[in-house]
Each structure stands twice: as structure tokens, then as C-alpha cells.
């Protein structure tokens, strides 16, 4: 597993990559939705909660399969904090 953090003028990008099997296109489309799980005992709340937290901070989260295998989760958050006037 790898973690990378890149700082740009407007955003901070955090990427987590694994070496697992990745996800099928159908699962990628649903994985960030509440109560969607591929696990028999899963609640489907983990990634959905991550999405809610990131979006509450004016960011976004993306899931994608890596060409060399595995999954990449990318979080993009604004580099500057939101002020009360915004």
C-alpha cells in the first residue's frame, strides 16, 4: 500500500493505492453510496461516511482501478480553509 500527498495552489491531493484485485466497474459506480457493500456482514457505511466528510470540507473523493493492478482512492481538499464569509 502506498500513500502520497501532493500540494497544489488550490487543492491538497491525498492518494492511497493498494495492490489488490481492484473493483469491477459496477462496484466502482456504487461503492461510495450508503448501505452498498460487497461483504456479507458489511454495513456499507465506511466509504459513504468518508465521502460525506470530504464533501463537508468542500472536497471530493474518487475511486479508480490502477493500470498495474489494485485500487486508487483519491481525496481532494481545498488548500485554503473556508472563511465564515464564504
Q: Is residue 76 part of a domain?
A: no
Q: Is residue 12 part of a domain?
A: no
What total of structural domains would you count in the chain? 1
Question: What is the arrangement of strands in the sheet containing 71-78, beginning at the earlier edge strand?
Answer: 2-7, 11-17, 71-78, 60-65
Record the pTM: 0.81
Domain that holds residue 39: 23-67
pLDDT per residue as tens digits for the range 49-63: 999 999 999 999 999
Q: Is residue 73 part of a domain?
A: no
Q: Is residue 35 part of a domain?
A: yes
Q: Is residue 77 part of a domain?
A: no
Alpha-carbon span 59 to 8, nearest angstrom: 14
pLDDT per residue as tens digits for the range 25-34: 999 999 999 8
Amino acid at each position: 500500500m502506498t500513500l502520497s500527498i501532493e500540494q497544489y495552489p488550490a487543492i491538497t491531493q491525498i492518494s492511497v493505492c493498494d495492490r489488490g484485485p481492484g473493483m469491477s466497474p459496477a462496484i466502482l459506480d456504487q461503492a461510495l453510496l450508503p448501505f452498498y457493500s460487497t461483504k456479507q456482514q458489511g454495513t456499507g457505511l465506511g466509504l459513504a461516511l468518508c465521502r460525506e466528510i470530504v464533501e463537508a470540507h468542500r472536497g471530493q473523493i474518487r475511486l479508480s482501478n490502477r493500470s498495474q493492478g489494485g485500487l486508487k482512492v483519491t481525496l481532494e481538499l481545498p488548500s485554503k480553509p473556508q472563511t465564515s464569509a464564504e
